[in-house]
């Protein structure tokens, strides 16, 4: 059973963040470890506040885990601050030195569903400059794609264009294969996702609208499930389709709980409701 690491924030309601990622890893029969970058105070109703963990603690956690429980892949979610980004990129750079094709999926979390900023403008710039060149894949939603590509992304046709712009921007700054982009179109109608592979092939993956208010954590779960499938050896297209199927199953089987945006059912493959 390979080990996979999530570097992300803590959401006490377990819809998103490290506790949700650990459930996704368990649902894929992978052993999960976690490095917390921030504590958020939130329930299903929304985020009340966010408290970054110091870069020193993030660095010490990564160092401590790496020698004892080395990961076979890493999911990076909410990073919270530019200084955490610098620390995480130093860790990832060292990993790449020994494994050039190490699987890393970055979910460029910028805001909560309820609209609270989780990464400020300085953080977005640091993410673009320091982490994007090191990630194998990123899984932005439309707003995150727009912020990173520097283009408006509103309509369906904007998505492939912005993905190609972003991949092009990164091409010059990377000494490994091009950045793969799995853009999540949950706000499109139909809610299709767009995959741009490192070799430049683009294709739409059809999505299914599920009528539920249990949608908290869909972005985190898609990104983590995609990493799991890559670690398990799926080629990218197969991994993306399997991750979408996993999230659709988690939406369909979720029990609505709490007064707001309920968590999806992360554990459905092993604990059907
Ligand atoms: O869904 C984005 C997200 C990611 N990570 C953490 C969060 C949120 C949204 O609230 O709290 C920890």
pLDDT profile of the chain (273 residues), mean per 10: 97 97 98 98 96 98 96 98 98 86 95 92 96 96 97 96 96 82 93 96 95 90 98 97 96 93 94 70
Residue nearest to atom 11 of ligand 1 (CA): 11
Nearest residue to 108 via CA among 49, 28, 162, 188: 162
Query: Ligand 1: distance of its center to the CA of 205 in Å?
Result: 24
CATH class of 3-252: alpha beta
Residue nearest to atom 10 of ligand 1 (CA): 112
Read off the pTM: 0.97
Nearest residue to 77 via CA among 135, 30, 17, 127: 17
Query: Ligand 1: distance of its center to the CA of 78 in Å?
Result: 6
Query: Ligand 1: distance of its center to the CA of 252 in Å?
Result: 21
**CA atoms of 182 and 195, how far apart (whole Å):** 5
**CA atoms of 86 and 228, how far apart (whole Å):** 25
Q: Which of 15, 76, 77, 106 to mutate to test the pocket of ligand 1 (most atoms within 8 A of CB)?
A: 77
Q: Which residues have CB under 6 Å of ligand 1?
A: 8-9, 11, 16-17, 40, 42, 47, 77-78, 109, 112, 219-220
Enter the tokens of residue 249: 């199953």
Looking at residue 97, its pLDDT comes to 76
Answer whether 127's CB lies under 8 Å from 165's CB.
no
Residue nearest to atom 5 of ligand 1 (CA): 17
Looking at residue 272, its pLDDT comes to 63
Query: Ligand 1: distance of its center to the CA of 226 in Å?
Result: 17
**CA atoms of 204 and 226, how far apart (whole Å):** 16
Q: Which of 20, 220, 258, 261 to mutate to test the pocket of ligand 1 (most atoms within 8 A of CB)?
A: 220
Query: Ligand 1: distance of its center to the CA of 13 in Å?
Result: 10
List the domain boundaries for the chain.
3-252
Query: Cis bond leading into 190, ω under 30°?
Result: yes
DSSP state of 264: P
């Amino acid at each position: 059973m390979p080990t996979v690491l999530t570097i992300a924030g803590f959401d006490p309601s377990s819809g998103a963040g490290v506790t949700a990622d650990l459930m996704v890893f368990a649902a894929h029969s992978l052993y999960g470890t976690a490095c917390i970058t921030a504590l958020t105070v939130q329930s299903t109703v929304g985020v009340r506040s966010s408290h970054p963990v110091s870069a020193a603690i993030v660095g010490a956690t990564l160092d401590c885990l790496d020698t004892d429980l080395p990961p076979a892949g890493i999911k990076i979610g909410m990073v919270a601050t530019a200084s955490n980004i610098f620390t995480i990129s130093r860790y990832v750079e060292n990993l790449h030195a020994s494994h050039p094709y190490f699987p890393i999926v970055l979910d460029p979390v910028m805001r909560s569903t309820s609209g609270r900023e989780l990464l400020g403008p300085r953080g977005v710039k640091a993410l673009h400059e320091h982490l994007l060149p090191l990630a194998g894949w990123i899984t932005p939603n439309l707003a995150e794609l727009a912020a990173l590509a520097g283009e408006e992304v509103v309509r369906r046709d904007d998505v492939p264009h912005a993905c190609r712009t972003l991949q092009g921007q990164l091409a010059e700054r990377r000494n490994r294969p091009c950045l793969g982009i799995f853009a999540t179109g949950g706000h499109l109608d139909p809610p299709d996702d767009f995959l741009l592979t490192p070799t430049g092939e683009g294709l739409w993956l059809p999505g299914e609208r599920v009528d539920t208010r249990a949608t908290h954590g869909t972005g985190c779960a898609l990104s983590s499930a995609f990493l799991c499938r890559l670690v398990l050896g799926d080629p990218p297209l197969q991994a993306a389709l399997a991750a979408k199927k996993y999230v659709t199953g988690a939406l369909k089987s979720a029990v609505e709980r709490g007064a707001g945006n309920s968590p999806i059912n992360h554990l459905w493959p092993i604990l059907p409701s």
